[in-house]
């Protein structure tokens, strides 16, 4: 049996989806969430095979939740649910797993859900390349439709033992240090389970620039650039710790152009 989590803020819609999934005889629904943060907590607890996810929700969008879900140690496959955004539906027609349109005709909806389950079953047999393709598709969709892209990030707060939602605009920089990727805000730093490469895909549309192999910087938080004499720079940032991030020689020209220098 395929283990699934449903995330939809509309109770009636979620109930209809659950019934359609269970009617296939191939899916067990192990959890339902109404909001993105609740979904991420549920994924950590249940570790499902697939997440059926509404693309438009209050708070974290479906795209944001999907990108965060793919950073889990055992990420689920993802099927998107959408009611009215034909452009998004067309984009997902090329996606790694599937999408399902919410339609008033229950029989049509149930048929589409059954087709999606069949694609999930096939995708589970080649999980790694499917997940890789889905990450690429999400990055492309976020570029094509900024309103669906990354506005917030969810990171684990190891001190409090909770998930914390952080606006992307409040992130000062991202660094790989000490074997971990650290996300820094003005006040503090958070360890993440993702990579600098993945965060670059997600944050580039929000004004983040790759300044070295191991670091991204939010250009709005650059205070000073100090030349090192070899073509590289030290970027002094506007956080409470006055973090200094090295801008490599190979990437300094692009950063200077962005800053108009």
Compute the distance between CA of residue 174 and CA of residue 255 in angstroms, rounded to an integer.
16
Which tokens sit at 41?
Answer: 């907590």
Please check the confidence at residue 198 and state whether its pLDDT lies above 60.
yes
Look at residue 237 and give its three-state secondary structure.
strand
Q: What percent of the chain has pLDDT over 90?
A: 40
Whether the pLDDT of residue 12 is over 60: the answer is yes
Cβ proximity of 86 and 59 under 8 Å? no
| Strands 180-185 and 171-177, bridge-based pairing | antiparallel
Q: Do residues 111 and 132 make contact, with C-beta atoms less than 8 angstroms apart?
A: no
CB 250 within 8 A of CB 215: no
Model confidence pLDDT, tens digit, residues 206-219: 889 999 999 999 99
- Are 208 and 218 spatial neighbours (Cβ–Cβ below 8 Å)? yes
CA–CA dist 132, 153 (Å, integer): 20
Q: Record the pTM.
A: 0.69
Lowest mean pLDDT among 10-14, 111-115, 152-156, 225-229: 152-156
Please give the structure tokens belonging to residue 163.
């998930």
Retrieve residue 104's tokens.
């008033």
State residue 161's pLDDT score.
63
Q: Are 75 and 96 in contact (CB under 8 A)?
A: no
- Could you tell me the pLDDT band of residue 143, with boundaries at 50, 70 and 90? low
Residue 83: in which H helix or E strand, if any? none
In DSSP notation, 115-132 reads HHHHHHHHHGGGHHHHHH
Domains of the chain: 2-148 (3.40.50.2300), 166-258 (2.40.50.1020)
């Amino acid at each position: 049996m395929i283990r699934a989590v449903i995330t939809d803020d509309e109770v009636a819609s979620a109930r209809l989806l659950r019934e359609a999934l269970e009617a296939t005889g191939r899916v067990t629904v192990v959890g339902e969430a109404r909001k993105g943060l609740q979904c991420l907590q549920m994924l950590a607890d249940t570790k499902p095979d697939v997440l059926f996810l509404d693309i438009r929700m209050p708070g974290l969008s479906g795209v944001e939740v999907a990108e965060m879900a793919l950073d889990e140690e055992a990420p689920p496959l993802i099927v998107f649910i959408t009611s009215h955004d034909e452009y998004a539906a067309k984009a997902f027609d090329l996606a790694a797993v599937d999408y399902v349109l919410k339609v008033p005709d229950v029989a049509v909806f149930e048929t589409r859900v059954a087709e999606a389950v069949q694609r999930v079953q096939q995708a589970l047999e080649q999980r790694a390349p499917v997940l890789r393709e889905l990450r690429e598709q999400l990055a492309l969709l976020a570029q094509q439709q900024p309103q669906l892209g990354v506005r917030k990030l969810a990171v684990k707060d190891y001190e409090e033992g909770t998930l914390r939602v952080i606006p992307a605009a409040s992130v000062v920089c991202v660094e790989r240090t000490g074997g971990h990727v650290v996300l820094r805000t003005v006040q503090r730093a958070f360890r993440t389970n993702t990579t600098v490469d993945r965060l670059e895909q997600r944050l580039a549309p929000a004004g983040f620039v790759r300044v070295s192999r191991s670091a991204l910087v939010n250009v709005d938080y650059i205070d000073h650039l100090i030349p090192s004499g070899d073509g590289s720079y030290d970027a002094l940032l506007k956080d409470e710790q006055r973090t200094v991030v090295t801008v490599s020689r190979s990437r300094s020209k692009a950063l200077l152009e962005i800053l108009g220098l």
